[in-house]
Amino acid sequence: MEEIVFALDIGTTKICALVGEVREGQLQIIGLGIQPARGMRKGMVVDVGEASVALAKAVEAAEQTSGYHLSEAFISMAGEHISSTNNRGAVAVGRHDTGVSSDDIARALDAAQAIPIPHNRQLVHLIPRSYTIDDQEGVRSPIGMHGFRLEVEAHIVTAASSALRNLSTCADNVGIRTNEFVLNAVASAEAVLEPNEREMGVIVADIGGGTTDLALYMQGSVWHTHVIPVGGYHITNDIAIGLRAPYEVAEQVKIRYGDCRPQEIDGDNVFTVEPFGGEKIQVGRQDLAYVIEARVEEMFQLILQEIQRSGYDGMLPAGIVLTGGTAQLRGITQVAERVLNVPARVALPRNLVGLVDSLQSPAYATGIGLLRWAMSGQQLYRPRLPQTGLWGRRVGNLLKALLPG
C-alpha cells in the first residue's frame, strides 16, 4: 500500500513542488514542479497575487508529472520573523505498571509549551531535546521506563501569524491546504544530515536567496534554530552594484565566474560583461572573487556570532553542513572553515529515488527534507486520482480570479 506526500518549498528565488510516493517505508520522487519565485522577499510574501501565480504553475507541473490531483502540502517557512527558545515541562508519571506512556509525554510537552506567546505569533515547532525521569538525565525515549516524575526539555519555534497566513493564502488560492509549516533548516537537515553528525554536534546552514537558516543538532535532536536575513541575493546585489549591471546579468556572472578564493585565481583571468549602457567591459575574475569573498565572510561571521550567542561554541565536532542554492559557490567551504574553525562540507540530498536528475543539488534539500519530515511524522494522506481536463485548471482559474473583469 503506497501513500503520497506533497511538499512546497516556497523560497525567495524559486518555488519547488515535490510529490513523493512512500512504499514500505521508502520514498520515491514521482512528481516535480520548479518555477522562479515571484512576489517573495527574504522568505516572506510581499505580493500575494504574483506569488500565487508562480505557485500555481509549480503545483500544476507537479500534478502533471505525478499523475495525481494534490490537495494538501507540507510547506517550508523562512524569514527573520521566526524566533525560538527552549523551555522545560514536568509532570507526575501516571500510576500504572507499564511505565511512562505517550499520554505522559504529551502532558509534559503541554507543560513545556506553557510560555507567553503574543497574540500576533503562533507556535510552529515543539521539538523534544531530552527527557529526565526522576534523577536520570539524557533519556532519549522514555516510553516504558519507570519513575515518578517526567521532565522534558523542548525547543520551541514561533513565527509571525501574518507571515504564515500569507503563505497559507497563496496555497489556498491554488487549492492547496497547509498540512504543516516546517522551518527551512529543519527540513533540510532531514535530507542531508548523517545520524552520527546529529549525535556528535553539527550545525546546518541552509543558505538560500534571501535568508540563511540555521539548525544546530546535538545528541540526535534540534537544540537551537535561527534565521539570518542575508543570503545569495546580497552577493548578487554587491556584484550588480560593482559592475553597474542589471541584477539578472550579475546573477549569471555569479553562477558562471563566482569564486570565494581570490588568492587562487590568476590576476590576468578576465571575462566580458555588458553593464547598463550597453558597452561591454572586461572584468577580472580575481576582482570579482574579492567582492564575493567579503560578503561570504560576513555571512559566516554572522553565523559565528549566533553559535556563540547560543552557548554551543566549541561543541560542534561535526562542524557545519552547507546546503541551499548559495552553497554551490566555489570555495565556500574554505571560507566557512577559516571563519568558524570547524569542518565544513556542502551537502546534497541523500538516498534519492525516482525523478532525481534535476534534484542533485543542495538547492533542493529543503523540498526533499519536507517529504522526509512528512514521512517521519506519519502524517500521510490519500490522494485523489486526476480527472479529465484537469491540467491548466489551477493557473487558469487563478488568473481569472486575480485579473479584473
Q: Please check the confidence at residue 400 and state whether its pLDDT lies above 60.
A: no
* Model confidence at 375: pLDDT above 80: yes
Nearest CA to 185 among 217, 162, 151?
Answer: 217
d(CA 56, CA 359): 20
Q: Please identify, among 246, 271, 292, the residue that sits at the C-terminal boundary of a domain.
A: 292
* Tens digit of each residue's pLDDT (9 = 90 or more) over 233-277: 999 999 999 999 999 999 999 999 999 999 999 989 999 998 888
Q: Is residue 73 part of a domain?
A: no
Residue 45 C-alpha cell reads as: 510574501
Q: Where are the alpha helices (DSSP H) in 113-246?
A: 161-173, 184-192, 195-200, 232-243
Q: Is the pLDDT of residue 60 over 80?
A: yes
| pLDDT for residue 397 | 64
Q: Per-residue pLDDT averaged across 60-81, rounded? A: 94
Is 391 contained in some domain? no
The arithmetic mean of pLDDT across residues 55-72, rounded, is: 95
85-122, pLDDT tens digit by residue? 999 999 999 877 788 998 999 999 999 999 999 999 99
Task: Name residue 155's amino acid.
Answer: H
Domain boundary among 161, 194, 211: 161
Q: What percent of the chain has pLDDT over 90?
A: 82
Q: What is the mean pLDDT of residues 350-372?
A: 92
Pick the range with the lowest mean pLDDT from 18-22, 35-39, 96-100, 200-204.
96-100
Which residue, chain included where needed, has cell 517526567? 150
Domain stops at, among 107, 131, 161: 161
* Integer Rg of the chain from CA: 23
Per the structure, the count of domains in the chain is 2
Question: Is residue 236 in a domain?
Answer: yes
pLDDT bracket for residue 398 (50, 70, 90): low
- 395 pLDDT band (50/70/90 cuts)? low
Q: How confident is the model at residue 385 (pLDDT cuts 50, 70, 90)?
A: very low
Cell numbers 517557512: residue: 77
pLDDT confidence of 388, banded at 50, 70, 90? Answer: very low
pTM of the full predicted structure? 0.90
For position 286, which CATH number holds? 3.30.420.40
Cell of 317: 565536532
Q: How far apart are CA 271 and CA 281, in angstroms?
A: 8
| Residues 6 or more apart whose Cβ sits within 8 Å of residue 48 | 39, 166, 169, 170, 173
* Region 323-350 average pLDDT: 97
The C-alpha angle 76, 81, 86, rounded to 5 degrees, equals 85
Any domain includes 247:
yes
CATH number at residue 127: 3.30.1490.110
State the pLDDT at residue 81: 95
Q: Region 170-196: what's the mean pLDDT? A: 95
Looking at residue 24, what is its pLDDT? Answer: 83
Average pLDDT, the chain: 91
pLDDT tens by residue, 266-317: 989 999 998 888 789 999 999 999 999 999 999 999 999 999 999 999 999 9
Q: For residues 80 and 61, what is the distance between their CA atoms, to the nearest angstrom?
A: 30
What is d(CA 143, CA 65) in angstroms, rounded to the nearest whole number? Answer: 42
Assess if residue 111 is contained within a domain: yes
Looking at residue 368, its pLDDT comes to 96
pLDDT, tens digit (0-9, with 9 covering 90-100), for 203-232: 999 999 999 999 999 999 999 999 999 999
Question: Is the pLDDT reported for residue 384 higher than 50?
Answer: no
Q: Are the beta carbons of 250 and 236 closer than 8 angstroms?
A: yes
pLDDT at 51: 96
- pLDDT at residue 396, as a whole number: 59
- Range(s) of the domain holding residue 259: 232-292
The grid cell for 197 is: 553528525
Q: Is residue 74 part of a domain?
A: no
Q: Are 242 and 275 in contact (CB under 8 A)?
A: no
Contact 337, 343 (CB under 8 A): yes
Q: Assess if residue 46 is contained within a domain.
A: no
Q: Is the pLDDT of residue 1 over 90?
A: no
In a domain, 115, yes or no: yes
